């Protein structure tokens, strides 16, 4: 298992950060099996959980990954009996990423290793899994947000800057009322314009 240990990087585009991180879109809890489980047992668990992959754990330590593709190519295509094969016979290496990394970094790692899934690690413990389809699912919305912000910065949008949605450059929280000011987007809370809640009043 390769754990990515590096400072968390923010992906910048047009002087802004997207701040969408891996833990925001990962799948959790992790569905796992033992290296000694048969491929038949693994396939049955995948079917019952309606998932396309299973993490292989040995004494609470992730040691590999089995996907539906692995079962087909390493088992069925070789005319091997699923009940005679062990998960360890068909599993592949598990690549991982820290939970606080950006989805941009997740996409880069998926592309670099030519894989479709990454294990997600938090404080040295596997806490989830993120797939290429998870990244793709949020990309259109993310592109819209980045494009909208870039248009405001360049003065191309003829509508109030306070109407843009995205992550505040001050607190990092999502807001539908960001306002562009001197190169940054600030939410209504950080601008001091939020309506006090009964709890804070």
Global pTM exceeds 0.75: no
Please, what is the Cα angle at 115 between 38 and 166, to 5 degrees? 120
Q: Assign residue 96 a region (left: φ > 0; alpha: ψ between -120 and 50; beta: otherwise).
A: beta
Please give the mean pLDDT across all residues of the chain.
Answer: 78
pLDDT band at 6 (very low <50, low <70, confident <90, very high): very low
Domain ranges of the chain: 22-142, 159-200
CATH placement of domain 22-142: 3.10.580.10
* pLDDT value for 156: 52
Alpha-carbon span 32 to 16, nearest angstrom: 38
Q: What is the side-by-side order of every strand in the sheet holding 174-181? A: 164-167, 174-181, 184-186
β-pairing, 96-98 with 117-122? parallel
pLDDT of residue 159 exceeding 60, the answer is no
pLDDT of residue 195 exceeding 70, the answer is no
| pLDDT tens-place string over residues 74-119 | 887 788 888 889 999 999 999 999 999 988 889 889 999 999 999 9
76 vs 141, more confident: 76
CB atoms within 10 A of CB 149: 24
pLDDT band at 173 (very low <50, low <70, confident <90, very high): confident
- 105 contacts 97 by C-beta, under 8 angstroms: yes
- 44 contacts 35 by C-beta, under 8 angstroms: no
């Amino acid at each position: 298992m390769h754990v990515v240990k590096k400072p968390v990087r923010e992906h910048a585009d047009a002087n802004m950060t997207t701040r969408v991180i891996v833990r925001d879109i990962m799948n959790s809890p992790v569905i796992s099996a033992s290296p000694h489980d048969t491929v038949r047992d693994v396939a049955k668990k995948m079917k019952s959980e309606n998932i396309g992959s299973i993490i292989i754990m040995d004494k609470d330590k992730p040691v590999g990954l089995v996907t539906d593709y692995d079962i087909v190519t390493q088992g069925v295509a070789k005319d091997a009996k699923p009940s005679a094969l062990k998960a360890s016979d068909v599993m592949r290496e598990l690549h991982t990423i820290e939970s606080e990394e950006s989805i941009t970094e997740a996409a880069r790692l998926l592309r670099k290793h030519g894989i479709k899934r990454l294990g997600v690690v938090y404080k040295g413990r596997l806490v989830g899994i993120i797939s290429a389809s998870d990244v793709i699912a949020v990309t259109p919305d993310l592109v819209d947000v980045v494009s909208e912000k870039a248009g405001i910065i360049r003065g191309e949008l003829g509508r109030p800057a306070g109407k843009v949605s995205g992550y505040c450059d001050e607190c990092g929280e999502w807001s539908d009322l960001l306002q562009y000011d001197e190169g940054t987007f600030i939410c209504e809370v950080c601008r001091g314009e939020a309506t006090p809640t009964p709890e804070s009043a």
